[in-house]
Structure 1
Amino acid sequence: MNDLTLIAAASATLPDAVFLGRHLIGGEWLGSADGAVFERVSPSHGVVVSRSALGGVAETEAAIAAARSAFDGGGWSRASGKARAAVLLRVAELIEADVERIARIETLESGKPIAQARGEVAGAADLWRFAASLARTHHGDSHNSLGPDMLGIVLKEPIGVVSIITPWNFPFWILSQKLPFALAAGCTCVVKPSEMTPSTTVMMGELLVKAGLPAGVVNIVLGHGQPVGALMASHPDVDMVTFTGSTAVGRAIAAAASGTLKKVALELGGKNPQVIFADADLDQAADAVTFGVYFNAGECCNSGSRIIVHEDVAADLVARVVALSRKVAFGDPLNPETQVGAIISAAHQGKIDGYVQDAVEAGAEVALGGGALQIEGLPGQFYQPTVVTGVTADMAIAREEVFGPVLSVLTFRTMEEALALANDATYGLSAGVWSENVHTCLEFARRAQAGTVWTNTWMDGFPEMTFGGMKQSGLGREIGRYGFEEFLEVKTVAMRVGRDTRAKWVRG
């Protein structure tokens, strides 16, 4: 462990005051009716960093009623695309002006490095700008070929009230993958962030109010999945629920929503393979693999936690990844030099370590890491950069989402074997392929069962490029035009032009 790159506690001081979060309901900032609150302790620094109102049934029902009233009133749902875009563009400007404050609380609540948090918050502004462009340019269809006396019109209208439930690993970014697109479509929303990272969503609410969003269009309820999230998924006045999180919770949300047959969009887990062929640029591949597994401490649905490498280059690639892993800076998230911060909770750290130990018992070997990490001056939980070799497809570490800085290494000899291993998973979120042969890349990309396939790169994303999974990685899509259209209903209008000259059906 001494040959790892560790960053001790930073000289940056912790906040003087605890952040206080309240619900946003009908344009008002409110505490819970019973006065209940909950606290978030920083997973890296071990101190209370936020204290939030703990919502229940009363607050959730009030928020849904406010969203329903705002939608039915038409002030936002029937506003022009230009008017909606103006508010979204203003939000983008306010985000960019407030990056440091938002990023700091996100780092303290989640344990992610401050440099990464700054990048995510600043980058989220681009999602709001792209959504604003869609608000002004989206359109339906017309059919002028139905005969001389008929005109067909297809309208695209906002679906209605949308429940948005977001996770703890990218609280501000993932909210920005959903909320601006729902607003651009004309929907009204109720938002519930994770109870582990609630504060940046409250800050987003502050920016929305400042940007001039009408009261009730976006409502925020802080609290737990039970009862808040469950009611948001099942309530008859909600027309759609969009959720990002674990596959297990996604199934529960789909079941809760089924009682009212509301639309459900789910972005769930992943066990994402990167397949490295013998002709790949191993320097580039090793760098991308290292980034893919340690980004956000591996607490990422797109984590490249499973590599499938050709036997001829497996030893060479693993050696390169291990060498690079030793150089990745693990430590205090408040230090700008840190690349990997704390694990979200002690319970989750135990789960991560359990996968590694079970793999070793099943015959795998640990080439690097494989245990908790102590950072000088910090009481929180950290996990070593870990590379596990000799993994077989039947091991849990090769099939289940570890959600930590742990890389599993499998090997192959043929394209067919590589595809079989890549597709042998209940998930289908993303995949990658590394080869200098474009034909190899294209064949793999077309046959891989994944919503996103990267070739000779990993985790590049753009607001224009839609995102979502196959199989048990979810339903529906986010961002891009396809993600925007998730929030629209399609309506057909058949119009007769002029008087009906046909013979009457009933002769009188």
Structure 2
Amino acid sequence: MRARRDQISKRESAMIERKQFYIDGAWVDPVTPRDHHVINPATEEPIAVISLGSEADAVKAILAARAAFPAFSETSLDERIALMEKIIALYSAKMPEIAQAISQEMGAPMWLASAAQAPSGLSQLMGALNALKEFTWEHSRGNTRIRYEAIGVCSLITPWNWPMNQIGCKVGPALAAGCTMVLKPSELAPLDAMILADIIHEAGVPKGVFNLVNGDGPGVGSVLSTHEEVDFVSFTGSTRAGIEIAKSAAPTVKRIAQELGGKSPNIVLEDADLQKAVSSGVMQVMTNSGQSCNAPTRMFVPRPKLGEAAAIAKATAESVVVADPAGDKRFAMGPLANGRQFEKVQSLIEIGMKEAELVTGGLGRPEGFNKGYFVRPTVFVSQTNDTTIAREEIFGPVLTMIPYDTEEDAIRMANDTVYGLSGYVQSENLDHARQVAKQIRAGMIHINGASTDSVAPFGGYKQSGNGREWGDFGLEEFLEVKAVMGYGAVAAE
């Protein structure tokens, strides 16, 4: 019994405690503290305690951002460039700490947290800085001057699956545009965001420009969506939540940009290298434990090649090593980020086992794990595109393979979804792949496994959202356009 008490005491003494919010340039106590434990998904044990904010906390942050907006929106480009360069330098120095926080709070293996999760935030900040330097802020059309100006106070609501990437692609362009903001990171993965707040404070960002309030949707998110002093809401998360935010923002006619769900098709064409196309497609699904909105979770293969393709997918999925994210196994897959997501994925796998053929994986944790939100890499074959697992976003390491008879049939099924975030095309003939890519109704198309491009627009069609992020496309979301008529012609731009 004493040994058990010693273990508990040791764990609690090591627990991080960060209950304050960053408002108006300082860390401040919540108006009404409400403790919330951050859970390590590999151990199901708490690693930190934060406070969940209330309406009063959110309003304080919004009003601080409003007060700071007039001065910050008028800062020069050189001032904002210098500020962002300081933030980037400090972020680079803290990269290992950020990676460690992400791994512990949402379960990304340390190799992935260090190689992709933490660096993605840096990449977004650098992309916003480059856009700031290169953007044409004013130009003339005859006697009219066209100006781009900061949109105002921005609510930034971010998810837990790629936490720093999504924070970076909102905070970066907001600062570059001259906006002020309130960030609500996911209460399930808030620690990396609080490190960023420390960085922003150390960089000397003027008080009130950046504010952070932890909280859940009902307590903080709803206020950030409805308050009349908020001009713009940038949200990344589920389509269900995005719909509610749009409804909440409608009465005050706020502008909204949303990056929502996906069920991305991966068309393996007849002339593709089957081994390469299928194996790479499986691995793209399994990366980040399947918790990427643009993952190619529906794979369409020619019906005569279905058996061979399924065998390749089975071998590839079974080669995936599931491991403790704190370990050093490169390319290993970690747990899902939280218990709710674990239960959702298990439920959909169970449904899939009733309506489709299970190729590999299935219910329960992988062998060797009796706790933690670990999921078996799973592959199904569904004979149609109408099954639950072919239509719902599972957001876990689960691939659904679907046979097609003609290329036209594959394209039709690829587009037969409420989503339209990404699409993938595999072919040895580049012109052929390009022709098919043109016909997929999605915001981003990847040919032959091409990775995302940091200077390309990120966003989707249909219920995958509206607006675009990354680079100059992301910067424009934080800007209003003003036409000054009668300005007079400018001799030299």
What TM-score do the two structures reach when normalised by structure 1? Answer: 0.91
Aligned pair 1:471/2:442, yes or no? Answer: no
> Structure 1 unaligned runs (5+)?
1-12, 146-150, 499-508
Cα distance, 1:420 vs structure 2: 0.5
Distance in 2, matches of 1:90 and 1:425, equals 44
Flag the 1:496–1:112 CA change in 2: closer, same or farther, 3 A.
Answer: closer
* SS of aligned partner of 2:486: strand
Distance in 2, matches of 1:489 and 1:241, equals 14
Structure 1 segment 274-353 matched on structure 2, within 5 A: 274-337=266-329, 339-353=332-346
What corresponds to 1:40 in structure 2? 38
What corresponds to 1:506 in structure 2? none
Q: Which amino acid aligns with 2:472?
A: R
What corresponds to 1:71 in structure 2? 69
Aligned 8 A contact 1:274 1:432 in 2? yes
What corresponds to 1:480 in structure 2? 471
Could you list the per-position Cα deviations for residues 254-294 of structure 1 after superposition, in whole angstroms to 9, with x for gaps in the alignment? 00000100100000000001000121122321232122211
Aligned pair 1:101/2:102, yes or no? Answer: no
What corresponds to 1:367 in structure 2? 359
What corresponds to 2:481 in structure 1? 490
Aligned 8 A contact 1:359 1:391 in 2? no
Distance in 1, matches of 2:24 and 2:370, equals 41
Aligned 8 A contact 2:350 2:363 in 1? no
Q: Which amino acid aligns with 1:341?
A: G
Distance in 1, matches of 2:327 and 2:41, equals 15
Aligned pair 1:82/2:82, yes or no? Answer: no
What corresponds to 2:3 in structure 1? none
Distance in 1, matches of 2:288 and 2:487, equals 57
* SS of aligned partner of 2:206: coil
Aligned 8 A contact 1:432 1:453 in 2? yes
Could you list the per-position Cα deviations for residues 280-324 of structure 1 after superposition, in whole angstroms to 9, with x for gaps in the alignment? 122321232122211111111011111011123222222112112
Cα distance, 1:497 vs structure 2: 5.1
Aligned 8 A contact 2:106 2:338 in 1? no
Structure 1 segment 103-118 matched on structure 2, within 5 A: 103-118=99-114
Q: Which amino acid aligns with 2:37?
A: E
Distance in 2, matches of 1:389 and 1:437, equals 26
Distance in 1, matches of 2:296 and 2:453, equals 18
Aligned pair 1:218/2:215, yes or no? Answer: no
Flag the 1:375–1:365 CA change in 2: closer, same or farther, 3 A.
Answer: closer
Distance in 2, matches of 1:16 and 1:113, equals 24
Cα distance, 1:144 vs structure 2: 5.5
Aligned 8 A contact 1:41 1:50 in 2? yes
Aligned 8 A contact 1:45 1:378 in 2? no
Q: Which residue of 27, 43, 62 maps to 2:60? A: 62
Q: Which residue of 383, 403, 415 maps to 2:395? A: 403
Q: Which residue of 456, 459, 464 maps to 2:448? A: 456
Structure 1 segment 163-242 matched on structure 2, within 5 A: 163-242=155-234
* SS of aligned partner of 2:100: helix
Aligned pair 1:132/2:129, yes or no? Answer: yes
Distance in 1, matches of 2:229 and 2:416, equals 40
Aligned 8 A contact 2:43 2:372 in 1? yes
Could you list the per-position Cα deviations for residues 29-61 of structure 1 after superposition, in whole angstroms to 9, with x for gaps in the alignment? 012122322111211112211111221011100
What percent identity do the matched residue pairs reach?
A: 34
Distance in 1, matches of 2:452 and 2:366, equals 33
Distance in 1, matches of 2:487 and 2:241, equals 48
Q: Which residue of 371, 376, 384 maps to 1:392? A: 384
Could you list the per-position Cα deviations for residues 200-222 of structure 1 after superposition, in whole angstroms to 9, with x for gaps in the alignment? 11111001111111111000000
Aligned 8 A contact 2:17 2:49 in 1? yes
Flag the 1:375–1:187 CA change in 2: closer, same or farther, 3 A.
Answer: farther
Structure 1 segment 4-19 matched on structure 2, within 5 A: 17-19=14-16
* SS of aligned partner of 2:17: strand
Distance in 2, matches of 1:80 and 1:69, equals 18
Aligned 8 A contact 2:281 2:449 in 1? no
Aligned 8 A contact 2:120 2:164 in 1? no
Rg: which structure is higher? 1
Aligned pair 1:356/2:349, yes or no? Answer: yes
Distance in 2, matches of 1:136 and 1:469, equals 26
Flag the 1:332–1:153 CA change in 2: closer, same or farther, 3 A.
Answer: same
What corresponds to 1:24 in structure 2? 22
Please, what is the CA RMSD of the aligned residues? 1.8
> Structure 2 unaligned runs (5+)?
1-9
Cα distance, 1:181 vs structure 2: 0.8
Could you list the per-position Cα deviations for residues 50-75 of structure 1 after superposition, in whole angstroms to 9, with x for gaps in the alignment? 11122101110000000000002x1x
Of the structure 1 ranges 284-293 and 192-201, higher mean CA displacement relative to structure 2 is found in 284-293
Aligned 8 A contact 1:42 1:49 in 2? yes
Distance in 2, matches of 1:108 and 1:277, equals 40
Aligned 8 A contact 1:102 1:200 in 2? yes
Q: Which amino acid aligns with 2:336?
A: I
Q: Which amino acid aligns with 1:165?
A: I
Distance in 2, matches of 1:320 and 1:109, equals 33
Q: Which amino acid aligns with 2:341?
A: H
Distance in 2, matches of 1:447 and 1:212, equals 48
Could you list the per-position Cα deviations for residues 406-439 of structure 1 after superposition, in whole angstroms to 9, with x for gaps in the alignment? 1101011212101101000000000000011223
Cα distance, 1:328 vs structure 2: 1.2
* SS of aligned partner of 2:83: helix
Cα distance, 1:496 vs structure 2: 5.6
Q: Which amino acid aligns with 1:401?
A: E
Q: Which amino acid aligns with 1:463?
A: S
Aligned 8 A contact 1:322 1:368 in 2? yes
Distance in 1, matches of 2:289 and 2:392, equals 17
Number of residue pairs aligned between Structure 1 and Structure 2 = 477
